[in-house]
A and B are shown apart, each in its own frame.
Chain A
Amino acid sequence: MDWTPDQPLIRMHDVHKSFGPQKILDGISLDVMRGEVICIIGPSGAGKSTLLRCINALVPIDRGSILVAGQEVHDAKLDKLALRRKVGMVFQQYNLFPHRTALENIMMAPIHVLKHDRAEVDARARSLMRKVRLDGKEGFYPGELSGGQQQRVAIARSLAMQPEAMLFDEVTAALDPETVKEVLVTIRDLAEEGMTCVIVTHEMGFAREVADQIYFTDRGVVVEHGPPEEFFTQCRDERARRFLSQIL
């Protein structure tokens, strides 16, 4: 099936996933249009991280379907590497390569995976460092950077692959309160430039500001979803209301 831009870039339909006897995803469906920003919120252990990892095939699913740009992610014939080039991911723990400098961290994948020209990748990496406001830190090792700076390098590293969509997995959860903002600003800039983003977050204010759609998940299902204004002011579901009242 050919994908056209009027169809969702990412479409999950009735996705199920269990780890042993424990159901993590119990029939999740969601659509993300190109350029759309969706935020997934919900209590811990609701399967939010697993949901993200299913989208770029880091975690195999048991049942259901996930289409990225019209391609079935869990088709055995699918070239997983091709899929992962389209979908970037940023992790809670940054996961930078500690033995490489910030700039090298960004350059490795484009050079070795995409086989792009080194000089061109170098220029791209430097401009990405400027974009995440870290120019001057190119030669620093991850251990020499603050958490917020490391996370911005991780975002730049992911962007260097020129993905069509970005997945953010609680990217500010491990950060000091002061550095949370600098990372959120970086993501907001991206969202405003039209990058398709799926963001798992506990930052409600941020979600309200950047999201086009909010999804509230609990116990492996989407309990409620809608545009932020509607979701935060007139949420119908009891569980979601209780969650919001605890957080806000």
Chain B
Amino acid sequence: MIPTSRTNLPVLRPFRLGAASNVSSILPLDGRQGVILVAALLVSAGIGEANAGPGAPSILATIVKWTPLLAQGFALNIAMSFLAMAIGTAFGVALGLGQISVLAPLRATAWSVTQFFRNSPWLVLLFYCMLLLPFEFRVGDSFVSLPGWTKATVGLALPVMANVSELVRGAVQSIPSGQWEACEALAFTRLQTLRMVILPQCIKRMTPPWMNLYAILTVATPLTSVVGVSEAMTLTGDILSSEGRTELLVPMYLYLLLWFFVYCYPIALATVALERRFQVR
């Protein structure tokens, strides 16, 4: 039997993988959203234009002018999302395996850690990491400084870790018990069973929700602007204050939204395509 851990609180309900189609229904993106975004951007630029004082440069030209800077900021968003995903996945897999351990204390610990980080607001975790991690630490004689964005990345990695942990546990438990039984009857050890039979099947099941989690993480990276990381959101604010034109406000933020959409939409499409392919098999 596979050990299980349960919770009664509705918020803490364990993640279920069974029906993969559930996942696509919560996908954050739809192609029409892109069309709406572009249309809104153009309309708001037009309105802004109409309200602009005489002699001011056009809104679209201003947006184009600031695009290289915005791209720099966005690169940081992507870098943080990659790193947080990598760290979160590595620790999350370990934690998820802990949740299905045969050792009760390990199982309980892994479960508590998972639930704690999965149900804490991301922003709170972010603040904690910013405040608790030192701005530099000693390695031998030299000091290595920890820039704000690295601390923010750790802060984002924590909820990712907890979600990956639940993904792993849910995937393992969604494998029919017959697979375990067959392995037992063939004299596989538990470790061999996990490594050769259970986990390979889990990877396939986990990939679409894992990509979905990545998209969610990416759109959450602007949270780090609150703690002072110079990513795209912060830079947009800076640009707006340096331009000092209120009619830029709406088009600029719409433009930022468009960046995130262009990045995340292909991921959403790929996720749906993968789900379909895995369902057929």
Contacts and interface: CB of A to CB of B under 8 A. Distances in A.
B201 A109 contact: no
B277 to A, nearest CB: 13
A113 B181 contact: no
B192 A99 contact: no
Contacts of A3: none
Contacts of B192: 112-113
Interface stretch (A30-38, A87-95, A199-207): A87-95
Interface string A157-185: 11001000000000000000000000000
B26 interface: no
B186 A157 contact: yes
Interface centre among A58, A99, A143 (most CB of B within 10 A): A99
A81 B187 contact: yes
Contact of B185 (A56, A82, A93, A99): A56
B185 A84 contact: yes
A88 B185 contact: yes
B201 A84 contact: no
Contacts of B184: 58, 84
Contact of B178 (A88, A91, A113): A91
Nearest to B180: A95
A187 B186 CA distance: 19
Given A108-B196, A112-B196, A113-B192, A91 B181 contact: yes
B197 interface: yes
Contacts of A161: 186-187
Contacts, number: 54
Give the secondary structure class of B's interface.
Answer: helix
Contacts of B187: 80-82, 84-85, 109, 113, 161
A194 interface: no
B68 interface: no
The size class of the interface chain A forms with chain B is: 20 to 34
A98 interface: yes
Interface string A69-93: 0000000000011101100110101
Interface residues of B, number: 18
Contacts of A157: 186
A99 B197 CA distance: 8
Given A93-B178, A97-B179, A112-B196, A58 B204 contact: no
B198 to A, nearest CB: 10
B189 A81 contact: yes
Given A85-B187, A96-B182, 20 more contacts: A58-B185, A82-B187, A84-B184, A89-B185, A93-B176, A93-B178, A95-B178, A95-B179, A98-B201, A99-B204, A108-B186, A108-B196, A109-B186, A109-B187, A112-B196, A113-B186, A154-B182, A157-B186, A158-B185, A158-B186
Interface of B: 176, 178-179, 181-182, 184-189, 192, 196-197, 200-201, 204, 281
25 contacts: A58-B185, A82-B187, A84-B184, A84-B185, A84-B186, A84-B187, A91-B178, A91-B181, A93-B178, A95-B182, A97-B179, A97-B197, A99-B200, A99-B204, A108-B186, A109-B186, A109-B187, A112-B188, A112-B192, A112-B196, A113-B186, A113-B188, A113-B192, A157-B186, A161-B187
Interface of A: 56, 58, 80-82, 84-85, 88-89, 91, 93, 95-99, 108-109, 112-113, 143, 154, 157-158, 161
